Structure 1
Amino acid sequence: MPLSDFTRLPPLLTASVGDGLASALDTVAGRAAPTHGFLRYGWFAAALAAYGGHARTLTVLREGAPVLALPFAPTGPAALRIAAVPGCYWPFRSFPVAQDAGAEPFDVALDTLARHVNALRIGPVYDDDPALAGLRAAAASRGWVALDRFVAESFLLDMAALRAEGIWPRNSTLRKNRFHEKHIADHGALDWSFVSGAGWRDEAFDDLAAVERKSWIAERTDGSDAKFTTAGHGAFWRAAAADPVVAGMMWAAVLRIDGEPAAFSFDLNAGALKYAIANSYDPRVAKHSPGKLLYYRNLVRAIDDGITTVDWGAGDSGYKRVIGAAAGPAIRDWLFVRPGLPGMIARLAGSLWRRSGNRAGQLAANDLANAASDA
């Protein structure tokens, strides 16, 4: 019998919801786009440990292999049965999907999810996020209501394009940097170093927290948006570093003066993309631009390491455009509401959700802190 006589059956898709976080998260993250490779079991476990909550995981298998893993935790009044993807708010709150997953696993995921929740919040997340794209398509075909609210514009730096244009940084920039470095050196001996992987010991986090406690964050805010202090998000990043894969992506450039930490830039390197997450400096050397000096060194090292794009996330304090960053995808919060009465109510109340977003295109530090804790 010729092979043409056989009927090719569609791949078998199955879905299940289990209590807690599933080990399948690591498998799917390993098959996801490199930019989403950090969305592992350890990432979500760190978020739950730092911010609280108890998650379940929806897993979709194709021919027995996981292609989608969606952790979700209850949020808001229990009677509303709303769930949210847990995680630290930055770089974004999404979930891992295999690059070759296709559309069908999202259809199965929403059909399964409808038996457990009335609505799912995902975000803040980028407009081009692959998990978001899959959910939107599945929601449209299955009668779910998808509500979005604008959070901010993102900013991207195309490192490959800068290098292609010629010498970067420009000689004029390097001369200015050397001038400032000379004056910073008046305060003591300078040491420029990097931290990643196994280097993420308690002492490394303590150094970053020490800089934040001296910085404008401590002076002008309640400190809740600091990334490494006890009052800020320090518990999350220390817990995330327990996963050696995530720790290998975590990256810091540090400037010390006479052995004391004076400035840092903290990133997450995901494949050829660098997420610029935080930077801070000691105000006593502020007039000599220690943060900018450190970040130029960091970017040069990034090019050498094969980084082609830097994602600076929300907001533009000016220096991003000066270095060469341009507007990237918008960042939004999404609420997916299942069909039936919940969907009808969502359509009527959708304007309230949209108005609750940040229409100015910027997130204040306290808004970011709230976003990190409300899942």
Structure 2
Amino acid sequence: MTKPMLLAEFTRLPPATRAFVLDGLSGAIDLVAQAAPETHRFLRYQWFAAALAAYGGSARTILVERDGDAVIALPMVRFGPAAARLAAVPGCYWPFRSFPASVDAGDGAFDALLDRLGQEVNALRIGPVCDGDPSLQPLLAIARGRGWVTLDRFVADSYVLDMVAAQADGGWPRTSTLRKNRYHEKHLGEHGVLDWRFLQGVELAAGAFDLLAAIEEKSWIAARTDGRDAKFTMSGHGAFWRAATGDPVLAEMLWAALLTVDGAPAAFSFDVNAGTLKYAIANSYDPAFAKQSPGKLLYYRNLVRAMEDGIHTVDWGAGDSGYKRVIGAEKGPAIRDWMLVRPGLPALLGRGLRGMWERSGQRHAAPAVDEVPPPGL
């Protein structure tokens, strides 16, 4: 009679990891995003689909599976001459252009991703992203160890508000700030009835985006620029944000604070809420009310509501640091644009173009850091 084997006598095989390419966007993107760090869970299928709808391009997705479970999803779109085999991660400029990876993806999964990536492209652009991006950092480390050239250009410094620390340090907002805000609100009320509202994706999709766009069309961005950087007008990025609300999970992450005066939109703040982290995407106001600082009044109300809702950190991204410092924000991780160039002739060419790539960004504030934790983690 054959003696039965004990469970301890079986040899555990290492997990089987494979990477393969799918035409279009893979539905598994959502599964990976759900297992990604909280900061990256908005990187869902519809986020990338909205980018393709708004900005064009035809996507392919590298999917990495471990024992049949998707752990990394890398959508990419071609750009430049076909013979150059260049690709970029699609998305919206801010919060960032990255891709979802499970928190426990591991080096083996990123190794498999790099193997497949080298078969598909000569170079991949990822960014802008903050230093320490949890999807990019392990890929950079493995790529460098295997002879890939990694080029970065500095875009800007981010500004981050730690509301937990601010509250612990004597309370936030300060009593003097609240007193000044009440004074301005009193005078703003002389223009008409004030209404302060908070809106999420369903309400935004149902027409509230048009209210935000109406404010932008009266703001400095319309008066001083060609309007292409406006977030919610149809000549700006409005198509992207409207399309993003097609996913109810993603729509729940979209958040707007709106001030109306006698029913007319006067100021807004718009964010993406990612767990305990809030990405401040845009804010604007009607200059007709500029003397009473409606934008400032609104974003203070918005941040107080954020604290009540369990938000710990606000990432303001790049741009005018003046009002952000007044609020209490401090300089956070640098924002950079990356190009990963595969070994061989492409890497040789990449090294020669390093200086040109760096000069195409802003003045370098600091060298790239490999091990900087992302904001909010």
Question: Per-residue displacement from partner, 1:28-79 (whole Å, max 9, x unpaired)?
Answer: 0000011100100000000000000000000000000000000000012222
Distance 1:317 1:280 in 2: 15
Cross-structure match for 1:241: 245
Shift of 1:315: 2.3
Q: How many equivalent residue pairs?
A: 361
Question: Per-residue displacement from partner, 1:253-294 (whole Å, max 9, x unpaired)?
Answer: 000000010000000000000000000000011111111100
**Structure 1 residue identity aligned to 2:310:** G
Asked if 1:200 corresponds to 2:198, the answer is no
Asked if 1:281 corresponds to 2:288, the answer is no
* Partner SS for 1:140: helix
| Unaligned 5+ runs, structure 1 | 362-375
* Partner SS for 1:358: coil
Counterpart of 1:139 (choices 143, 146, 151) is: 143
Asked if 1:292 corresponds to 2:258, the answer is no
Shift of 1:204: 0.2
Distance 2:354 2:159 in 1: 28
With the length of structure 1 as denominator, give the TM-score of the two structures.
0.94
Distance 1:85 1:136 in 2: 15
* Partner SS for 1:114: helix
Asked if 1:250 corresponds to 2:250, the answer is no
Shift of 1:334: 0.4
Cross-structure match for 2:360: 356
Cross-structure match for 1:101: 105
Counterpart of 2:70 (choices 66, 71, 74) is: 66
* Partner SS for 2:126: strand
* Partner SS for 2:350: helix
Cross-structure match for 2:33: 29
Shift of 1:3: 5.4
Cross-structure match for 1:16: 20
Percent pairwise identity: 67
The answer to whether the 8 A contact 1:61-1:68 is kept is yes
Distance 1:260 1:205 in 2: 14
Distance 1:201 1:337 in 2: 39
**Structure 1 residue identity aligned to 2:25:** L
| Unaligned 5+ runs, structure 2 | 366-377
Shift of 1:197: 3.4
Cross-structure match for 2:194: 190
Cross-structure match for 1:44: 48
Distance 2:152 2:68 in 1: 33
The answer to whether the 8 A contact 2:128-2:155 is kept is yes
Distance 1:355 1:217 in 2: 26
Cross-structure match for 2:91: 87
Cross-structure match for 1:125: 129
Shift of 1:355: 1.1
The answer to whether the 8 A contact 1:155-1:316 is kept is no
Distance 1:105 1:208 in 2: 42
Distance 2:155 2:11 in 1: 48
* Partner SS for 2:217: helix
Shift of 1:4: 5.4
Cross-structure match for 2:172: 168
Shift of 1:5: 4.5
Shift of 1:165: 2.0
Distance 1:27 1:125 in 2: 22
Distance 1:9 1:79 in 2: 41
